[in-house]
Structure 1
Amino acid sequence: MGTLDWVVVAGYFFVMVAIGWWSRGRIANVVDFFTAGGKMPWWLSGISHHMSGYSAVMFVAFASEAYRLGLTVYVWWALTIGIGIGIGAFLFAARWNRLRSKHGVASPLEYLARRYNVPAQQLMAWSGSLLKVVDIAAKWSAVAILLRGFAGVPIAWGILIVGVVTMIYSVLGGLWADALTDFGQFIIQGAAGIVMFVAVAAHFGGIQFMWEIWDKLPAANSEPLREPYTATFFMALFVIKTLEYNGGMWNLAQRYMAAPSGREAKRSAILSSVLWLVWPLVLFFPMWAAPLIVPDLAARAGDAYIELGKVMLPAGMIGLVLAGFFSHTMAMVSSDANVITAVITRDILPRIWKGAKRMTGAAQLKLARATTFSFIGLSMLMAVSLDTTDGVLKVVVDLVAATMGPIAVPLMLGMLPWFRRMGPSSAISSTLGGLGVWAVLYISQQMGTTVAKEALVAYPLLTSVVLFLVVGLVKPERTTDRDELIDSLNSDEADKPTGPETVAAKA
């Protein structure tokens, strides 16, 4: 990297911190900190939803798979997410928003105490929070790998630099800062992605490279699904991503909650769905063509995007592309930090510390900022301490994707009227059973037993779904209060408004 590249990166970091400082003035209480007070425009909510859904992992792990295996990574990853969000636009987006507007919910898990019971809520809160720390540690490692590859910065320093900048604007500005930096990052990453795409197209003499490269690559690279990504893996991941990206990944539920109404939340989901179907193609085509430009990288395919950038991009543009990498990880980490803070301060602490319920509004806001700081710091420490640099995709798929289903199934299906019979027994059995199956498979894998990737992802999800349905049918736990909660999420029509503590008070 040259001087101009460093200027671009430094300028990017300065703008992110400035946005955090400006957003600080829009935060008056914890509801503003966690849901932007329900005042976020639908288009900003949609862009933020899209940007918060992926990170620099794409340019390390997924780029590696695109280089080695070709088209399949778009089919089993981006396509499943894009279609899943499109489905969720009609099932989940508006319901998340109505939890905030009608029941004062500020955390995605806050409604679970009333929908099921406190033990079910706490089980999902604790297991999901621990999972997120590991997930974010892997993403810090991914962006640090890119910084090392482009600039020779040691992994630990890369994590520290990006983490501190993210920490500053997240602590200051809450969800407003997250969304506004998401938008800025969307512009920067868009420019960076287009620059790389145009550079590769110019290398091959024009846009026709998009269909001509496949004749020059191995035939298997154009197959929609290839080993180890089978049809079973695809179907399991499709269900997981539909749940995950419509609120099972808690920070994405916040984007819907922050919109002014359920109708606007639906529009934001549709925008995010379209972006997921189109934009990854712009990012992946250079990687699909990369074996023809920088061959013989199969043994270290995780560096493929880095090596391609060094060959194709002029001075200044590498800094822009690197800023684009940062944008993905910082967008996801800041939004994850915000929602984990919401879960801790709204759902966990009040149950284990009575003083949390007696806090003033100002004290709650200070607690939220302190928790955000602590979460980001802990994830950075874990990223530095653990060796995740050689297994980013393994962490993301084998751990995060495989365990997301058991946590998301009762959280998401509990909002839908077709699952009224399912109560706390269904929810707890579903989560514990799914996580238990995953633990057995994962431990067996670590001990040397061959466990197929589709089994590690599909079996915990299948177990969770079956237990949720069967236990609910055998032991229905439908109540009038739960029915009222579910029915209130069906439309934006004004019901009698409830205060921010109503859902918890009824639990």
Structure 2
Amino acid sequence: MRFAQNVDYIVLALYFILMLSIGIYYSKFSKGVHNYFAAGNKVPWWISGISLYMTNFSAWTFTAAAGFIYHTSWYGVVYISSGIVTYFLGALLTAKRWRRSRVISPIEYTQTRYNIQTQQLLSWVISANFILSAGAQLSATCKFLSPLFGIDIDILIIATGLVILFYTFLGGLWGVLITDFVQFVILISMTLIISLLSLKFAGGLKGLFENVPPFTFEHVYNNVFYDLNFLISIYLIGTIGVAAGASQRFYSVVDEKSALKVGILASILSFAQPLLFAVPPLVARIIWPDLSQVDLFKGFFQPNDLVYLGVALKILPIGLIGLLMSAMLSATMSTLSSVYNFVGSIITRDIYLALFNPKADEVKQFKFGRITTFVLGLIVIAESLLYVHSEFGIFNIMVTFFTLFNIPVNIPLAFGLIFKSIPRWGASLAIIWGLIVGAIARFVAGWSIGAQVYIAGISTFVILMLSDKIRTLYLKNKTFLSLISLAVSILCSLIFLLNLKTEPSIARYLIIIVASFSLGFSLIYFNKFVKETEQDKKVVEEFFKKIETPINVAQEVYGKSGKETEVFLFIGFILIVIGTLISFLPFVVHTEKDIHIFIIVASVYIIFGVLMILYGRKNKINKEFILSENPGSKTKTNKSDEINRGI
């Protein structure tokens, strides 16, 4: 096996420089808050779709997920392929509605759709969840790469965190989207070559299917039980997560059709998951059935997490190992840069503008957004330095945040766009219910992840959809509502007490009973603070009129001032440069025997680059012709709209 050499360090350094250069280049297109957080709604749908696909990858995909597939075989493959379903269904639910909401912050619409209290609650919870999770992802990446390169992990965390921070800080959403595309090409080329070459160690596809254990629904991995309920819960969280959490990718494109294409493209790309990410760990299971006997994995606490790296090092020549590290970093960098921009927009629009400075103009919002993004990056770096030395474990931290926050927050965000019957105040109580019920189920009653997600999701959805009826009962028949609250309190207590999956104790009983009765009678007490007027109902009506109104591309997108962004030519140039440099690597590092691998990888970049340049030149010529035919207007023809959309 080969390990990182000097040339690999050079490749990694050049990759960092490339990402920073993209951020600097696209900073000239991010001179206002609308362009910084929504890219002026001019992002080609395929760029946004690839970016959406990329945001779900990090070093975790190559480590923890690979280890999970190694242990559970085909069950893990089904797990990692969830995007096929979740992207498609999530986009069908809300993609068009997000674009028609005409917002530039993922939950900016809640101040109108719900109320200021709901907006603030969502803003704080989502921001905390994303930032805490981002710290775990950065530390996971650097913990994996540090021993490979022999770099102190704290130094690696600081360096990597600063690179991600600066290109996000400089380039805004355009910088994030374009780096996502470049990282996508790097990721696809490296994972594809590793998967195809690794098959020879398993005897080809036939040998893979014959030697990998058959599919089963029940597994125990690191003392955690996984079954069908876990898979269903992951697909459920994923679908609702896309419907709510992919908002920025949906509303940054020009119109509703483009928004739907974003989700469909991400779904189609997910069909490649088994080939790109599952084959190497499955091959590892065949060639290394006992990792404790393999020198590479000796001395590691959880060797399963290193099986993808082990297969890659068995295949890749010097030089491409550095590019593999770049691919792993690219996945994490894509996720973290999206988090910085996403949370930055929330804090700027939904906290700073709504609470502290409602009269702030575009310039002040833009400056505050940039400062916020910078501070968020520093916080994530500090978290990573803390997490990486924590005995609790990075994987446990990630699972805790993901399962606790996502369902209670995303259900109101997604379904608030769909159901007009939900009152403006309804989401707040639903979120609180979901968070508390999920926490009790997981940390007090000791339920499995799947069961926790089920009960948190059902609780959130039921309270959200019945909130108007609960309000009606409060106003017309408080006695009956009191009886319902008592019944709900008793039912919740019995559900948890009779299904306790951990060691019984007086403290657990008390927590369950107190929490259950607090939730039950919150149906009454919460309504004491609700103020709903006819004006509130009119606001909701107006909101849904906007949702039902198609986007006027000519007026709402291209009628606005701002620099036009040359997407295709710039991306093409970058990819050709990368491909050309890779083609010279075998002669620099004297690995001519592996030249076919370098040629395949380089060809992928050059082909992508040439296609981008040809397409970009065609668009530029057509656009100049149309503008000459329509002086004084950039958007007088449908053809012009199509060109700018990148169709």
Q: TM (normalized to structure 1)?
A: 0.89
How big is the shift at 1:491? 4.9
Determine the structure 2 residue equivalent to 1:395.
397
Please tell me whether the aligned partners of residues 167 and 376 of structure 1 are also in contact (alpha carbons under 8 angstroms).
yes
Q: Closer, same or farther in 2 for the Cα pair 1:214/1:226, shift >3 Å?
A: farther
CA contact (8 A) 1:398 1:457 kept: no
1:362 to partner: Cα distance: 2.5
Distance 1:496 1:99 in 2: 17
Q: What amino acid maps onto 2:90 in structure 1?
A: G
Residues 142 and 392, structure 1, Cα contact 8 Å, conserved in 2:
yes
Confirm or deny: 8 A CA contact 1:142 1:389 kept in the other structure. Answer: no
Query: Where in structure 2 are the equivalents of 1:284-299 lying within 5 Å?
Result: 284-297=278-291, 299=302
Q: Is the CA contact 2:256–2:551 (under 8 Å) kept in the aligned structure 1?
A: no
CA–CA separation in structure 1 for the residues paired with 2:274 and 2:464: 34
Matches within 5 A, 1:19-34: 19-34=22-37
Confirm or deny that 1:379 pairs with 2:361.
no
1:389 is displaced (CA, Å) by: 8.1
String of CA shifts for 1:236-290, please: whole Å, max 9, x gaps.
222211111233x3xx211111101111111111101111232353211111111
How big is the shift at 1:392?
A: 3.3
Deviation at 1:390, TM superposition (A): 6.7
What is residue 430 of structure 1 aligned with on the other side?
430
SS in structure 1 opposite 2:447? coil
Matched, 1:462 2:458: yes
Aligned to 1:490: 548
Q: What number of residue pairs does the alignment pair up?
A: 478
Which string of whole-angstrom CA distances, capped at 9 and with x for unpartnered residues, describes residues 178-203 of structure 1?
00000000011111101211220233
8 A Cα contact 1:262 1:491, kept in partner: no
Rounded Cα–Cα distance in structure 2 between residues aligned with 1:495 and 1:2: 51
SS of the residue corresponding to residue 226 of structure 2 reads coil
C-alpha distance in 1, partners of 2:14/2:391? 27
1:268 pairs with 2:326: no
In the alignment, structure 1 residue 255 sits paired with structure 2 residue 258: no
What is the correspondence of 1:203-352 to structure 2 with a 5 Å cutoff? 203-205=201-203, 208-209=204-205, 211-219=206-214, 222-223=215-216, 226-227=219-220, 228-247=225-244, 249=245, 252-297=246-291, 299-352=302-355
Q: Distance in 2 between matches of 1:389 and 1:157?
A: 20
Question: CA–CA distance in 1 between the matches of 2:137 and 2:195?
Answer: 24
Change (3 A) 1:59 1:389: farther
Bigger Cα displacement from structure 2, 388-397 vs 336-345: 388-397
- Is the contact made by 1:139 and 1:329 (CA closer than 8 Å) also made in structure 2? yes
Secondary structure of the structure 1 residue equivalent to 2:26: helix
Change (3 A) 1:439 1:401: closer
Name the CA distance, whole Å, in 2 between partners of 1:388 and 1:256.
37
Which runs of 4 or more aligned residues in structure 1 lie more than 6 Å from their structure 2 counterparts after TM superposition? 495-499
- Gapped regions of structure 2 (runs ≥ 5): 293-301, 473-531, 558-647
CA distance in 1: counterparts of 2:554 and 2:182, whole angstroms? 38
- 374-383 vs 171-180, which moves further: 374-383
How far residue 37 of structure 1 moved from its aligned partner, in angstroms, is 0.3
The Cα of 1:493 is off from its aligned counterpart by 5.2
Q: CA deviation at 1:75?
A: 1.6
Shift of 1:442: 4.0
Distance 1:498 1:311 in 2: 53
* TM-score (ref. length: structure 2): 0.70
Tell me the residue number matched to 1:505.
Answer: none
Alpha-carbon shift at residue 25 of structure 1 (Å):
0.7
CA distances 1:270-326 after superposition (whole Å, capped 9, x unpaired): 101111232353211111111223442374211222222222222112111111111
Q: 1:493 to 1:13 in 2, by over 3 A?
A: closer
User: 1:112-162 CA distances to partner (integer Å, 9 max, x unpaired)?
Assistant: 011010001111110111111111011001211221242122322221121
**Mean CA deviation greater in 166-175 or 81-90:** 81-90
Instruction: Kindly indicate whether the alpha-carbon contact (under 8 Å) linking 1:57 and 1:392 is maintained by their aligned counterparts in 2.
Output: no
Amino acid in structure 1 at the alignment position of 2:14: G
Q: CA deviation at 1:12?
A: 1.0
Quote the RMSD (CA, aligned, Å): 2.3
> What is the CA–CA distance in structure 1 between the aligned matches of 2:459 and 2:234, rounded to whole Å?
14
Go from structure 1 to structure 2 and tell me whether the alpha carbon gap of 1:489 and 1:5 turns closer, same or farther (over 3 Å shift).
same
CA offsets per residue over residues 443-469 of structure 1, 9 Å max, x none? 32xxxx643222233222222112112
1:246 alignment partner AA = A
Q: Could you say if the C-alpha distance between residues 14 and 415 of structure 1 is closer, same or farther in structure 2, counting changes exceeding 3 Å?
A: same
Q: List gaps (5 residues or longer) in structure 1.
A: 500-507
How much does 1:225 deviate? 5.8
CA 496–109 in structure 1, closer or farther in 2 if over 3 Å, else same: farther
CA distance, structure 1, for counterparts of residue 311 and residue 105 of structure 2: 41
Corresponding residue for residue 96 of structure 2: 94
Residues 137 and 388 (structure 1), Cα distance of their counterparts in 2 relative to 1, 3 Å cut? farther
